[in-house]
Amino acid sequence: MELKYDGSNEYLPLRDVVFQALRQAIVTGEFSPGERLMEIKLANMLGVSRTPVREAIRMLELEGLVVMIPRRGAEVARITEKDLKDALEVRTAIEELSVELACARIDEIGKERLKKACMDFKAAIDTKHVQNIVDEDVRFHDVIFEITKNERLISIAHNLREQVYRYRVEYVKDFSYHDILVREHYDITNAILMNDVKTAKEIMRKHLYNQEQIVIKNLKDTLK
């Protein structure tokens, strides 16, 4: 893990840069649920003092990605079935509204973007590289949000995207589900292109329910 300075963060306080680096490491699975976050070790890894690390950990605690354990200190929050269900209840409502609006508002440019996002996702699946698949899954859903042309919805969806990123990584790790994922993306795309609101919402709801079941199964398997 390293700090990355680019145009998007070169003017941010060091605390925020450290926060972004640790956050990325958590949501992508570089740090495992339940893993302790030792300030000195992290400071050495990132080449900073303990102060910005301590401040970043407090920020992560507010996001629910880190918990403070008495006599142990900070550790990566474990994924729970309750957290997953809460997040996906909200996501399902937003995604169903998004496909409904997309069906009504999609134009020719939007159609081409959606078809490309669908094909890019299939190409990512073929690589069998988890990070590529997750990134293209995010992009596919982002295109649908953008087609709605509703800036408030897009903003809310982007904020929620970070909270469900960990769950995306978990279900993408299950390669046995990849063929179903590709088919669901294709069916969602086709329904939107046909302006079929009812079908688009039904498939999206099933798509997210299937993800929930896969993650819950994996969570239970890790506890055995």
Average pLDDT over residues 178-197: 97
Residue 68 has pLDDT above 80, yes or no: yes
- The pLDDT-based confidence of 150 (bands split at 50, 70, 90) is very high
- How would you label 177-215 residue by residue, b for 16+ Cβ within 10 Å and e otherwise? bbeebbebbbbbbbbbbeeebebbbbbbeebbeebbebb
Higher pLDDT, 9 or 46: 46
State mean pLDDT over 27-35. Answer: 85
Question: What's the rounded mean pLDDT across residues 178-198?
Answer: 97
d(CA 19, CA 43): 12
The per-residue pLDDT of the chain, averaged, comes to 90
Q: What is the CATH number of domain 81-223?
A: 1.20.120.530
**What pLDDT does residue 147 have?**
98
Confidence of residue 122 (pLDDT cuts 50, 70, 90): very high
At 11 the pLDDT is 63
What value does the CA radius of gyration of the chain take, rounded to a whole number of Å? 19
Question: What is d(CA 193, CA 200) in angstroms, rounded to the nearest whole number?
Answer: 10
Given a cut of 50, is residue 82 above it in pLDDT?
yes
Domain ranges of the chain: 14-76, 81-223
Tokens encoding 95: 């995604």
Question: What is the CATH number assigned to the segment(s) 14-76?
Answer: 1.10.10.10
Note the pLDDT of residue 5: 44
For residues 25 and 128, the answer to whether their CB atoms sit within 8 Å is no
Please state which of the ranges 49-53, 109-113, 172-176, 208-212 shows the lowest mean pLDDT: 172-176
How is residue 41 written in tokens? 């070790």
Is-contact 128 173, C-beta < 8 A? Answer: no
As a whole number of angstroms, the distance between CA 15 and CA 57 comes to 9
Residue 12 has pLDDT above 80, yes or no: no
**What is the rounded average pLDDT of the residues 206-215?**
92
Mean pLDDT of 190-219: 94
Asked if the model's pLDDT at residue 10 lies above 70, the reply is no
Q: Which residues pair with 222 in a beta bridge?
A: none
Residues in the chain: 224
pLDDT beyond 90 at 75? yes
Please choose, from the candidates 111, 122, 132, the residue with its C-alpha nearest in 3D space to the C-alpha of residue 194. 111
